[in-house]
Amino acid sequence: MIHREDMLELTRRMNLSRSCIDRIAGAYLDEAGYVDGTFNRNFLRLTASERRKNIELAKSVLFSRTNEQLNDFPMASHTGQTGQIRRLLEGILRSGMKDDALPDLFYELAGEQFHPGSPYFCFFFHGSYDVPAKGRDGEWLEGSEEVYEYLICAVGPLAGEYEPGRAEFGFLYPAFRDRSSDFEVINIFERFPENPHRELTKLLTQKR
One digit per residue, the tens of pLDDT, for the chain of length 208 reads 999 999 999 999 898 888 899 999 999 999 999 999 999 999 999 999 999 999 999 999 999 999 999 999 999 887 666 688 999 999 999 999 999 999 999 999 999 999 999 999 999 999 999 998 765 555 555 556 789 999 999 999 999 999 999 999 999 999 999 889 999 999 999 999 999 999 999 999 965 4
CA distances to 20, 144, 181 from 133, in Å: 17, 5, 14
Which pLDDT does position 144 carry in this prediction? 65
Which pLDDT does position 39 carry in this prediction? 98
The sign one gets for the Cα dihedral 201, 84, 28, 34 is negative
Nearest to 146 by CA among 185, 114, 183: 183
pTM here?
A: 0.92
Which pLDDT does position 179 carry in this prediction? 86
Which pLDDT does position 138 carry in this prediction? 54
Nearest to 7 by CA among 197, 200, 187: 187
Which pLDDT does position 107 carry in this prediction? 98
Give CA torsion, residues 147, 48, 122, 175, to 10 deg. Answer: 20
* Domain assignments of the chain as residue spans, ordered by start: 4-133+142-204
Which pLDDT does position 121 carry in this prediction? 98
| Sequence-ordered alpha helix ranges (H) in the chain | 4-11, 48-62, 80-94, 101-113, 198-204
Which pLDDT does position 19 carry in this prediction? 84
CA distances to 41, 74, 145, 180 from 24, in Å: 6, 25, 26, 23
Which pLDDT does position 81 carry in this prediction? 61
The sign one gets for the Cα dihedral 57, 199, 84, 158 is negative
